[in-house]
Amino acid sequence: MISRRVFGKVVGTGTGAVAMSLAGLRDASAADGAHGASPGSAGPSAPTPAATSFTGLKQVRAGVLDVGYAEAGPQHGPVVICLHGWPYDIHSYVDVVPLLAAQGYRVIVPYLRGHGTTRFLSSRTVRNAQQSAVALDIIALMDVLKIEKAVLAGFDWGSRTAGIIAALWPHRVSALVSVSGYLITDVEAQKTPLSPKAEYSWWYQYYFSTERGRLAMETPDDRDALCRLVWDTVSPTWDFDDATFERTAAAFTNPDYADIVIHNYRWRLGLADGERRYDRYEKLLAARPRIATPTITLDAERDPFTAPGDGSSYRDFFTGPYEHRTLAGIGHNVPQEAPAAFARAVVDATRL
């Protein structure tokens, strides 16, 4: 455990409001709406402080990328890797990181390919965002940082990526925190229509299937307006300010951003090819492999992508120690809307 004096240094990347002990984490996670709180008890999230930021971002060559990442906490502490989604970036974890660092964890938050300061090493590399390619990026990062095993925690693309690594490389994952549960993609199954209401929530996925959608992602004003609309609709109780969105939108100026986002969503629908070198992994993932890693899944009550049934639709995919939590009054960007509940889940997952 880190002393309060050291903790004060660690939280230089965050706000004073996140300076709390493990007991404080428990209390704050309840306030975030975790542990079966009554619907709406968390209430709308407070505006995110615009001053909250990471300092001293790092870069390292790993696999086909030069990866940009934030890091905090003791160098020799147990490692937690936090993975962001779309349309977000590492700042989804800006209030989670100091909480975990204060508990003695070494926390690493990488920009995924096509985001922020992460760059491809070669102009000849295919700008591919199929699920196994993104997962192998994280394996490559762990290898170059000499991390044998880590807790993986994520939402959106990050949940999928963390789940893939836990399924295919379980020896590299000590525990898993997955928002929305089991998100590993079977492209063939994706061809089956969902309910009209569910399809409506995925409107941008179909927009990106058109060249009109690609052009929007290549045009800065249209891109930012689209991404902000997604924030508004999938996190209806999150009262973020302009500076909070703009801080993340800076990550969208990556020269490969449009290519990566468009390929990701087209590939999922079977409208874009992957690369043959990933075929063996995709074949395994298409079988929807079970995950034996100790896992906590989180469902956000106000997230339109949360499946009904309190996690029952994916429970059978997790065969190891397991716990499910619902976050009342919280939307899609769980770590930024409910940082204490997310951090608490990471701590508790390591103890399952």
Cα separation of 165 and 220, whole Å? 33
User: Tokens representing 287?
Assistant: 């079988």
Q: How far is CA 240 from CA 29, 44, 246, in A?
A: 19, 10, 11
Statement: residue 211 has pLDDT above 50:
yes
Q: What is the pLDDT of residue 2?
A: 35
Q: What is the pLDDT of residues 143-155, one digit of tens each?
A: 999 999 999 999 9
pTM: 0.89
Q: What is the pLDDT of residues 296-326, one digit of tens each?
A: 999 999 999 999 899 999 999 999 999 999 9
Q: What is the pLDDT of residues 78-88, one digit of tens each?
A: 999 999 999 99
Cα separation of 97 and 10, whole Å? 9
Q: What is the pLDDT of residue 56?
A: 85
Phi-psi region at 103: left, alpha or beta (left = phi > 0; alpha = psi -120 to 50): alpha
19, burial (CB in 10 Å: exposed 0-12, middle 13-18, buried 19+): middle
Q: What is the pLDDT of residue 237?
A: 97
